[in-house]
């Protein structure tokens, strides 16, 4: 494809359609490569503007750009948002009737559309393939670009493997003229990136990895029992009553129970709670999804079926009631918070039951799959590997952000480098070495010598031949007299009861540290057992008397998880009392008035409010106080089409506010 569009034209389109004067980091390189006819691979965190990288070429190049996306529920929102910006988009999926699909294809042939969203399964449909060959061939309007969103779905090493993505390369090869192919994802390890290039047949792609760090997100991890989780979430939602949040649960039953209880307990505070999972009727799911997107229901409790189809920029928090299946899944789901770039919080609440459930789900899912035995075993082992990394995230005392960045190979961020699997959040002298914006980096720690516990644990694991799980080993070292211990005759082994004075929970915690540091190893499967790790020789030595010491950092404020959880709830209640104080500054009042204008405009058009204007754009109006259309165009995020369609309504509200308050009352930077 010859370059027919200059970067100056691309920047002009960026301002015209989206209201921005410059590209974000990484966007310009990818756009320039695509316009120059080169394949591209963009790995950018959620909220970094991946879609701009293919939308700008689509809106400036002649012909029809195809966007392959697994997010059928998102296609309608993406098309409406592009229409609101003045573009000519379309989509083709199973939600359209046959007659509607015929109309879309007819108009596409005639050049009505600049961009068309399709699901990967559509590429296996011969009728659609014939349409694409016609459009791309002689006499057609041309297909200059095929963009692949959520490209990690092509890789079996990723957490969202979709076999239908394997159709993409064949589809492209069969087109009369090969288009530029650009792939985009938010979460891909180096192995997955290599798979994307190979499976999609990318040719010497311009590869941009902007880094995985979402600096506006706070990450928190707390271990607590299921009942305490419910209390924690209730108090958190109450403390953030004017904010939108997503609460993820691992099962439909957990969603139903938590949504019911939260809805009942938060109703007196005027906080509505919705729910979403695949077991609900489709109409109810869509209704609840729309209510959340339209800011009518601020809190939604959901399984991971919810979110991939949600393009809501002002989600202020994401809470995981249970452990997700992988770091990739967690970072993608947590990344739905703060897409507008403003501060947001991501909290993960966990306990041992979460991992037992996850292992059970892995075995059950794979047993029901249609894969052959060898492929099923590979898939199962990969899922266990992903879950093991998730377990490390929950148990690390190190910087949570650094753990995630290290996992994705983002070695430059935070000075992260190769090293221990679970580094501590602070150095031996207490100096901070992490991000200062996660629960581990903001928690007081104390150094504790656990050498004797560690030594006895490694020796006992050796004595019992690596045949038992972490909990049973801890109980035996503690000297518990249970039926299972007697059944397996663990009470006859040397080392039984050697740590009688230590709580079993503490022994189990140290075993976890030994696993994380390689002294012990934990098998994969629904019922994992603990064996010797590659570093066990450092503890045992050839004659069992090696010089060895181990220190760990533990939370100084409260060592036991229940006490730590109670402390977390107390903090939330203090925050609720703080947030109950009235806001100050006239910007806050103007912001609410502009939100009401936006809501009315959204209702008129049956659109989500963010399609009219984002919260960030409204705050820009509050700061700048535009009086003319030209001044409104200077607000980031407000393009020409939005000024034409909605500008007068916003300007009139700002003028009314100014008439009452005047510019003298304007307090730049007031809390909004």
**What pLDDT band is residue 668 in, cutting at 50, 70 and 90?**
very low
Which is nearest to 130 in space by CA: 90, 174, 168?
Answer: 174
Are residues 408 and 344 part of one domain?
A: yes
Model confidence band, residue 430 (pLDDT cutoffs 50, 70, 90): very low
Mean per-residue pLDDT, 436-465: 86
Q: Check residue 232 and give its pLDDT.
A: 95
In 410-487, which ranges are E strands?
A: 445-449
Burial of residue 244 (CB within 10 Å: 0-12, 13-18, 19+) is: buried
Domain end, chosen from 165, 180, 209, is at 209
Q: Kindly report the pTM of this predicted structure.
A: 0.73
Residue 291: count of CB within 10 angstroms of its CB: 15
* Residue 489: CATH number of its domain: 1.10.10.10
CA 169 to chain centre: 27
Query: Looking at the structure, do residues 462 and 542 belong to the same domain, yes or no?
Result: yes
Q: What is the CATH number of the domain that holds 629?
A: 1.10.150.80
Which band of pLDDT confidence, cut at 50, 70 and 90, is reported for residue 11? very high
> Would 144 be classed as within a structural domain?
yes
Task: Name the strand (E) or helix (H) holding 63.
Answer: none
Q: Are 293 and 310 in contact (CB under 8 A)?
A: yes
Question: What secondary structure, in 3-state letters, does 605-621 show?
Answer: HCCCHHHHCCHHHHHHH
Residues 6+ apart with CB under 8 A from 242: 298
| CA dist., res. 460 & res. 494, Å (int) | 7
Alpha-carbon span 6 to 258, nearest angstrom: 53
Q: 309 pLDDT exceeds 70?
A: no
Q: What is the pLDDT of residues 56-112, one digit of tens each?
A: 999 999 999 999 988 776 788 889 889 989 999 999 988 889 999 999 999 999 999
Expressed as residue numbers, the domain containing 51 is: 7-209
CB-CB neighbours of 381 under 10 Å: 14
**Same structural domain for residues 243 and 267?**
yes
* Whole-Å CA distances, 514 to 377, 538, 631: 27, 12, 61
Q: What is the pLDDT of residue 608?
A: 86
CATH of the domain at 98: 3.40.50.300
Q: Is 578 inside a domain boundary? A: no
Mean pLDDT of the region 500-525: 84
**Same domain membership, residue 590 and residue 441:** no
pLDDT confidence bin for 411, thresholds 50/70/90: low
* Region 24-45 average pLDDT: 93
d(CA 90, CA 73): 14
Per-residue confidence (pLDDT) for residue 16, from 0 to 100? 92
CA 422/CA 406 separation, integer angstroms: 10
The three-state DSSP-derived secondary structure of 389-406 is HHHHHHHCCCCHHHHHHH
Question: 560 lies in a domain?
Answer: no
Number of Cβ atoms within 10 Å of the Cβ of 279? 12
* Least confidently predicted of 24-33, 289-298, 654-663: 654-663
Among 155, 183, 209, give the residue marking a domain's end: 209
- Do 436 and 464 belong to one domain? no
Domain contains 576: no
Burial 70-92 (b: 16+ CB within 10 A, else e): bbbbbbebbbbbbbbbbbbbbbb
Residue 136's pLDDT is 95
The SS3 assignment for 282 reads helix
Q: b/e per residue, 446-455, with b = 16+ CB within 10 A?
A: eeeebeebbb
DSSP string, 491-535: GGSTTTTTTTTS-HHHHHHHHHHHHHTTSEEE--SSS--EEE-TT
Tokens describing residue 383: 């899922």
- The answer to whether residues 189 and 230 belong to one domain is no
Instruction: Measure the N-to-C terminal CA separation of the chain; round to a whole number of Å.
Output: 47
Do 20 and 103 lie in one domain? The reply is yes
pLDDT of res. 551: 66
What φ, ψ does residue 311 adopt, rounded to 5°? -115, 60
**Do 461 and 439 sit in the same domain of this protein?**
no
Q: In terms of DSSP bridges, do strands 206-209 and 344-350 run parallel, antiparallel, or are they unpaired?
A: unpaired
How far apart, in whole angstroms, are the C-alpha atoms of residue 487 and residue 484?
A: 5
125 and 182 share a domain?
A: yes
Tell me the H-state helices in 273-351: 282-293, 327-334
Domain final residue, candidates 410, 445, 480: 445
Same domain, 273 and 422: yes
Looking at the structure of the chain, the number of domains it has is 4
Which one is predicted more confidently, 618 or 385?
Answer: 618
611-642 pLDDT tens trace: 899 988 999 999 999 999 999 999 999 999 99
97, part of any domain: yes
To the nearest whole percent, how much of the chain has pLDDT over 90?
Answer: 49
Q: Residue 472 above 60 pLDDT?
A: yes
pLDDT, tens digit, for every residue of 534-574?
A: 888 888 865 545 567 776 666 654 444 444 444 554 554 45
> pLDDT confidence of 270, banded at 50, 70, 90?
very high
- HSE-CB at 576 with a 13 A cutoff on CA atoms is 16
Residue 230 covered by a domain: yes
Q: Is residue 68 part of a domain?
A: yes
pLDDT given at position 313: 87
Spatial distance between the Cα atoms of 125 and 129, rounded to a whole number of angstroms: 6
Residue 203 in 3-state DSSP? coil
**Within this chain, do residues 163 and 266 fall inside the same structural domain, yes or no?**
no
Instruction: Yes or no: say if 181 and 53 are a contact pair by the CB < 8 Å rule.
Output: no
- The alpha-carbon radius of gyration of the chain (Å, integer) is 27
Label residue 373 by pLDDT band (50, 70, 90): confident
Average pLDDT for 25-51 = 91
Q: Record the tokens describing residue 498, joined without a space.
A: 């050697």
391 with 482, same domain?
no
Does residue 479 sit within a domain? yes
């Amino acid at each position: 494809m010859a370059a027919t569009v200059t970067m100056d034209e691309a920047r002009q389109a960026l301002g015209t359609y989206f209201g921005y004067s410059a590209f974000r980091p990484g966007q310009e390189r990818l756009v320039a490569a695509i316009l120059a006819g080169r394949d591209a691979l963009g790995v950018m965190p959620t909220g970094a503007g991946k879609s701009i990288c293919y939308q700008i070429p689509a809106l400036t190049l002649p012909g029809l750009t195809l966007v392959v996306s697994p997010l059928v529920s998102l296609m309608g929102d993406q098309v409406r948002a592009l229409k609101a910006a003045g573009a000519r988009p379309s989509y083709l999926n199973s939600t359209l009737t046959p007659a509607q699909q015929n109309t879309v294809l007819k108009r596409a042939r005639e050049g009505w559309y600049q961009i068309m969203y399709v699901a990967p399964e559509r590429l296996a449909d011969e009728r659609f393939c014939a349409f694409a060959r016609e459009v791309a061939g002689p006499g057609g309007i041309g297909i200059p670009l095929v963009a692949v969103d959520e490209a990690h779905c092509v890789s079996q090493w990723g957490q969202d493997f979709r076999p239908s993505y394997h159709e993409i390369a064949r589809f492209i090869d069969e087109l009369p003229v090969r288009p530029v192919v650009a792939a985009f994802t938010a979460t891909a390890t180096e192995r997955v990136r290599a798979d994307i290039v190979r499976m999609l047949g990318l040719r010497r792609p311009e590869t941009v990895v902007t880094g995985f760090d979402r600096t506006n997100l706070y990450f928190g991890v707390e271990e607590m029992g299921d009942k305490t989780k419910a209390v924690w979430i209730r108090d958190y939602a109450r403390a953030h009553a004017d904010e939108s949040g997503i609460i993820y649960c691992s099962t439909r039953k957990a969603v139903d129970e938590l949504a019911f209880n939260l809805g009942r307990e938060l109703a007196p505070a005027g906080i509505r709670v919705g729910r979403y999972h695949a077991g609900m009727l489709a109409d109810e799911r869509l209704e609840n999804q729309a209510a959340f997107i339209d800011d009518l229901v601020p809190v939604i409790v959901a399984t991971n079926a919810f979110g991939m189809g949600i393009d809501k920029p002002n989600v202020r928090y994401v809470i995981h009631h249970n452990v997700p299946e992988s770091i990739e899944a967690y970072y993608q789901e947590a990344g739905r918070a703060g897409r507008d770039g403003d501060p947001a919080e991501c909290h993960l609440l966990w306990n041992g039951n979460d991992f037992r459930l996850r292992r059970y789900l892995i075995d059950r899912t794979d047993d029901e799959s249609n894969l052959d035995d060898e492929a099923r075993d590979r898939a199962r082992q990969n899922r266990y590997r992903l879950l093991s990394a998730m377990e490390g995230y929950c148990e690390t005392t190190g910087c949570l952000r650094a753990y995630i960045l290290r996992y994705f190979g983002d070695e430059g961020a935070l000075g992260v480098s190769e090293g221990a699997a679970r580094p501590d959040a602070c150095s031996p002298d207490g100096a901070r070495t992490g991000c200062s914006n996660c629960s581990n980096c903001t928690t007081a720690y104390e150094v504790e010598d656990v050498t004797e516990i560690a030594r006895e644990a490694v020796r006992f694991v050796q004595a019992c031949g690596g045949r038992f799980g972490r909990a049973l080993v801890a109980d035996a070292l503690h000297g518990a007299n249970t039926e299972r211990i007697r059944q397996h005759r663990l009470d006859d082994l040397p080392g039984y009861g050697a740590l009688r004075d230590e709580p079993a929970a503490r022994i189990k915690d140290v075993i976890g540290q030994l696993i994380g540091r390689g002294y012990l190893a934990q098998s994969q499967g629904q019922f994992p057992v603990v064996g010797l790790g590659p570093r066990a020789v450092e503890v045992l030595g050839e004659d069992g008397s090696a010089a060895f010491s181990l220190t760990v950092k533990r939370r100084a404020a409260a060592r036991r998880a229940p006490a730590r959880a109670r402390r977390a709830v107390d903090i939330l209640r203090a925050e609720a009392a703080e947030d109950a104080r009235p806001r100050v500054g006239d910007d806050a009042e103007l912001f609410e008035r502009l939100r009401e204008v936006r809501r009315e405009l959204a209702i008129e058009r049956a659109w989500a409010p963010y399609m009219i204007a984002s919260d960030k754009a409204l705050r820009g109006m509050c700061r700048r106080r535009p009086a003319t259309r030209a001044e409104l165009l200077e607000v980031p995020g407000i393009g020409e089409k939005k000024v034409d369609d909605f500008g007068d309504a916003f300007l009139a509200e700002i003028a009314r506010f100014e008439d009452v308050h005047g510019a003298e009352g304007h307090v730049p930077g007031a809390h909004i």
